[in-house]
Structure 1
Amino acid sequence: MPRNSKDSVIQKIARQAYVTFKNFNASAIGDNKTLLDSQGNLVSLLTEIRAADLNIAPRQSTDSKPDRTPPVTYMHICETDAFSMGVFLLKSGASIPLHDHPGMNGMLKVLYGKVSIRCFDKLEKPPDTENDTQFDPPLPAFQNDSLRRSILRSTGEYSEDSGPCILTPEQDNLHQIDAVEGPAAFLDILAPPYDPDDGRDCHYYKVLQTVVGTDKKLEQHEEGEEMWLLEIPQPEDFWCGGEPYPGPAVSI
């Protein structure tokens, strides 16, 4: 693909994302210098992007009464068979609930505002039916198949001055994103895109509290701590609307 020095930053990001992920094989990363260099180039480009590059202006908090407009909206930029890219915009206090990206890579770069991100990994070992773990509140038996052991991998706050948050199919794949101290927006790359027909569908989870230490809040969990997740339907208080993307056109 020829490069033009006058290309917009978002065009350069799209082309680099395609180069990075068009033949992506997670098991082949290892010491693959070409692939690692390609990912490094993409991270460098993402670190440069700002809201103004996409003709997006930071939105202000409002004191208006609660309404039924979406807490989160999405601006679609582009999608190929290798990746999809767009911008998520969160109202003040909004949250994208704990969810996964099965078999997918992700890169998230804050454009304005601040977000808190908690990342989890699923553990391969299945629920231990011999361990009489008790939850608070008690869990009905029919939900046992929806239990997942997990580990809290990382927590952190990201702003426009931060580098991108990166997830892989194996690490940090489940995450929750909360707007902190006002509205926020971030550029989001998923590779490959969601495709339910190919096993890449979004699932939602909640963290369960056990009887031991029931006063422990999610914010108080320590990194590396094992815990239980329960797969749940999409929370009723979360939905995502759409709005036009105002930035430079992107072609692949």
Structure 2
Amino acid sequence: MDAVRRHAVATFSRPHGNLDENLRRLVAAMSLLTREDVGLDVKLMRDIREAPVTYVSIQEHEDVTISMFVLRHRSRLPLHDHPLMYGIIKVVSGIIEIKNYSFIQDPTESLRLSEVLVKKEPPRIISENDPPIVLTPTKGNIHEITCPHSAGAAFVDVLAPPYGSFVPSLGPRSCFYYFESDEQPANPETARFVKSLEHPEFWTDVAPYCGQ
């Protein structure tokens, strides 16, 4: 986990330097992560808890945050975005299904809109044996993650810049949730979503980090 922390800060601290090369090294380091590295308590995936998802904070930095999400059977992180952010996801236990959508409009301009037009990306099933997924400010940024397996799942999430960091002329980054608009485009490869700062069916509880 120390290598992931080090490469995450090196990749996203300002100035960025060679972003592509640093990102490649970060992804390589995350590929090696195991449930033992992050001290995952597997009971969190199986316990009957009030919240559908458990959040574990691993590192808070002004340029990057690292956390872990623990999902129980059929729970989900509903459709949401990482506004002008990179997100790297590595499953460390179980299986997740991820559905992604990419911005068609300029992502900065999309932040100003109440509805957005997006391109559908192929859904993916990801296990702990698969490499990390990289979401960019434009590619696959809007996404939903579900846990289809009865044993639960957990993944490490690296986000940069963090939520709450400042976007020039727009203010602090906020997480938006997305809901299908009543008016959908004729093209089946695209979709139109309405944005909201709240989701009535999603909340998390928290657990301490017990890893390296």
2:170 maps to 1:186: no
Residue 124 of structure 1 corresponds to 105
Deviations along 1:177-209, whole A, 9 cap, x unmatched?
A: 001112111000001110165431100001246
The residue correspondences of 1:211-250 to structure 2 (distance < 5 A) are 225-248=189-212
Structure 1 counterpart of 2:92, from 97, 102, 111:
111
Deviations along 1:124-156, whole A, 9 cap, x unmatched?
A: 18xxxxxxxxxxxxxxxxxxx632111112310
The two structures have a TM-score, normalised by structure 2, of: 0.85
Residue 137 of structure 2 corresponds to 169
Distance 1:211 1:195, change over 3 A: closer
Residue 3 of structure 1 corresponds to none
2:184 maps to 1:200: no
Structure 2 counterpart of 1:56, from 19, 40, 43:
40
Distance in 1 (alpha carbons) for counterparts of 2:120 and 2:137:
15
Does the 8 A contact of 1:110 with 1:164 survive in 2? yes
Structure 2 counterpart of 1:20, from 11, 18, 23:
11
Does the 8 A contact of 1:113 with 1:180 survive in 2? no
Deviation at 1:22, TM superposition (A): 0.7
Range with greater deviation from structure 2 (170-179 or 35-44): 35-44
Structure 2 counterpart of 1:153, from 121, 130, 140:
121
Range with greater deviation from structure 2 (171-180 or 200-209): 200-209
Residue 99 of structure 1 corresponds to 80
Does the 8 A contact of 2:174 with 2:197 survive in 1? no
SS in 2 for 1:77: strand
Distance in 2 (alpha carbons) for counterparts of 1:90 and 1:163:
19
More strand by share: 2
Structure 1 unaligned blocks of 5 or more: 1-9, 26-31, 126-144, 214-220
User: How many residues end up aligned between the 2 structures?
Assistant: 200
Deviation at 1:211, TM superposition (A): 7.7
Larger radius of gyration: 1
The two structures have a TM-score, normalised by structure 1, of: 0.72
SS in 1 for 2:140: coil
Deviations along 1:5-33, whole A, 9 cap, x unmatched?
A: xxxxx1110001111111366xxxxxx8x
2:24 maps to 1:43: no
Structure 2 unaligned blocks of 5 or more: 107-112
Deviation at 1:233, TM superposition (A): 4.4
- Identical counterparts, % of pairs: 28
